[in-house]
Every structure is written in C-alpha cells, then in structure tokens.
Structure 1
Amino acid sequence: MRLDGKTVLVTGGTDGIGAQLIRQLRAKGAVVIASGRNAERIAATRADGFEVIAADLSTPAGVDALVAGLGDRPIDILVNNAGVGTNYDFRSGEVDLAGAEATYYLNLHAPTLLIARLLPVLKARPEAMIVNVTSGLALAPNAGSPVYCASKAGLRSYTLAIRAQLKGTGITVVEALPPMVDTQMTAGRGSNKLSAPECARQIVQGMERGSETINVGMVKVLQLVHSISPALARSIMIRF
C-alpha cells in the first residue's frame, strides 16, 4: 500500500514502538493521528506537530473518547499498537488482578471494539488496512507473563478470523509480531532487545508491501521453528 496521503490512526502513539511508527509514517507522507494516555508524553508529541487524542484504552470510556475525538473524519489505516503488561507470577506471589483486567482490555478488547466501530469508515475508503500489533509471544508463550501472552494470542486469533471475514472488501488485515523491543514497558527485562526505531521500520516496510503477516526481528526465526514444530517453539519460549 502506498502510504503517502493516507490518514493513519496509531493507538499508543506517544511512546515506545508507537512513537516511532507515527514519525516513520509521517516521513512516508501519511497524515497521522495518535492516541495516548500520559499527559506529559501527549504534550511532547503534540509539540512535535502531531495530532493526539487523549484516550486511556484500558477502559470503555477511553475507547469512546477516541472514537468521539475522530468524529466523522475518514481513516484509511488503523494501527492497533497500544499494549501493556502486568505482574502475574504465582511463583513470586506477584499477581495483580486489577492489572490483569486492564491488560486484557487494552491489549484485546479495545482493538476489537475499535475495529468494529471504525469498520464502516474503513470500508468506505478505496483501500484500507487494519494492523494489529501482537507479539512473538502470541505464537508461543513464556512463563513470566501469562496474561500478556494470553491477550496477544487472543488478538492473533481475532486477526486471523476477521481477515477471512473481510476478504474481498478492500481492507487488508495485517498482523505485526514484534520480538522483545527496547521500550519503557520492557525496561529491566531481558537483553538483546530490538530497538523501537528498527521495529517500526520493519512494520512500516511490511505495510507498504501489503504483507498480511509481518514477523519482526527474531520472530522470523520463531515463526520458522513454530511452522516446523509448534511443540518445540513452545518448549523453547516457556522457559523465559
């Protein structure tokens, strides 16, 4: 898809991968609208010339606020990028039930609601795209973040199903699967993390190519292993 002139909504666009996506999409000539929930980062992103709609997508009110902020403007591309993790490990006794609920809502419920509510707008465009940012952990979970893994696996299944439903409508349904990326969310966790700019570059490149699946960084290797033996992929990843 040619991105020049397209209007793109990127959720979670004020930090991490999203902050890089909005800049790289703008550099391609797209008109970019971001959503975010941190007041300081929203202000900084607006100062950089972006439109930002304040919306906490871990709540139903946040989804309503984002849709209301868009009004009746045409949207060509919806990028469901906003994501969060939470402490949920029975081995250490760190189980945050409220955080789990917010994680499921932000990572899974909000994207499904936004797609449903914006689908008429997307269908009205000559060509359109939905990009759901899942994770390599949607293929094979690790032991350390079961709620995050489950929410991303749910979004992956949803993406595959609606791709089949929307075939022939002019809407390309894309899944982007990053590895662990060096962002504020992953601070202090893991090593050999992919940089956020490089992750965004690979996603934007995949969007331009019209790829239905964008395996980012080392997820290419995980996807290959998973295609040969899902059990082997699970046995490797569950140790982390």
Structure 2
Amino acid sequence: MYVGHHTGWKVPPASELYGGKVEQIDDWCSEHLVPESQCIECNPNLYPKPKEFGFCSEHGVSECVLCHPELAQVKGEPQLPKHDTTQAIALLPRPENNSRNTLHRSRVQFASATSVEKYGIDIDLAQERMMSDILTANGEVVFNPTRVAHLMTRVPGTVAAVFKTVGHDVKRNDVIALVDSAQVGHAKSQLLQALVQYRLRRTTVERLRPISSSGAVSGKTLIDAESAMEEAEVMLHSARQAFANLGFE
C-alpha cells in the first residue's frame, strides 16, 4: 500500500528500486531554442548550407537569386521572372544593404510544427502574377475632423427651428437653431419671481424707514423688513446666476 500511494500505482524502474539514478539527457539548445539533436546550426551536417556566392553588387543583395537561379528553392528548372525586375526594384527608393552583413547566413528554426502555428507563420509558394495600379477597398467620406465643431445644448429640449444646415457659411454669434427647453422656462420663471419679491421687499423698507424715525412703527418691524429685503436680494442673485449658467446674460 505504501509503495502504491507514493508511486501513483505504477511500477518504478528497476534502477530506482535498487537505489540507482537515471541520468536525464539534456537535449536542448539554449542558444537557438530548439532540441540539440535537431539544431542545424550546431549540427551543420543535418542540413548543409548551399554554396555561397557572396554579395551581388549589381542588385545590392547577398546570395542573389537573379544572378544565381540555382539558389532559389523551386521544383524543376529554376526560371527567372518574365517581367523586368529592374523596374520593379527601382519603383521606390531602397536602402543600400551592407555588403559585410552576415545575418543572411543565420537560419530560422522552430522547435516543432506546433510552434510555427502558434506564432501565426504561414508558408506559401511564391508566384509570379500581374500587378494592378488600382486597389478596390471600402471607404467612408467624412468631414475634416480639425474643421468640424460638434454643437450641443446645455439643457435638454426639443429643436423648434433650424436656421443653418450643411453647406451654409456661419460666423461667430450666428443662431444655428432654436431649442425649446422646459428647464430654461423654469429658470426664467424663477428669475422673474425673485425680481418681483426683491422689488416688493425694497419698497416696503423704503416706506418703513421715514415713519420708523417718528416712532409710528417699531424698530423691530424695520429690521425684519430689511432682513427680508436682503434675503430676497440673495435669491435674486442666485436666480440670475442660474439663468446665466444656461448661456443667457
């Protein structure tokens, strides 16, 4: 029972039963990240490199397949392109390659075919096809975003009238549209109500001050009236500020 629980109910190798150790073979190339036994850089005999022809001064590349078609990995007899490759190369400016660069001698290796699929590498045959100067693609015509202003109202409402549409010239302070908003109406009503209350309180104070000095009314009555006027003035300023916040002066 003890042996079964500690060995996963599997019979261990004889070397482990008698105290021996099984040597683990490290078959991994840490430099090229592939199994050591399959590394073609560390074991050149696995995949010999083709004959090197050096740098091509005519086309500016190393191991030029145009001058040496036998370097091209194709089936059958190597053939040069039917079209003028010189014009294709001269179509756009190309940086000059360094003739002393040796990176082209390094070969890319993967540990397995699964690694190739994981990195999203697709392998296909190189084919010679006609190229077209026209490319068909979907597009969307939009205004220049640096010259477009998106307008919005400070309060919700319903557009009652539109005075400017697409194509019209506009300038500063032009009326673009008229928005009917209940919130603006409420703010205006609050402002008018506060204005009426302030004027009423002020008129009351102006009437009480002359007769208060003669003793016809008590000083407390005048103080209460002045306090009510100051309170009405504060409410008036608050209503004006709320109306100004909506864009009205």
> Which structure carries more relative contact order (alpha carbon 8 Å, separation 6+)?
1
- TM-score above 0.5, yes or no: no
TM-score (norm 1): 0.16
Bigger strand fraction: 1
TM-score (norm 2): 0.15
Please say which structure displays the higher CA radius of gyration: 2
Bigger helix fraction: 1
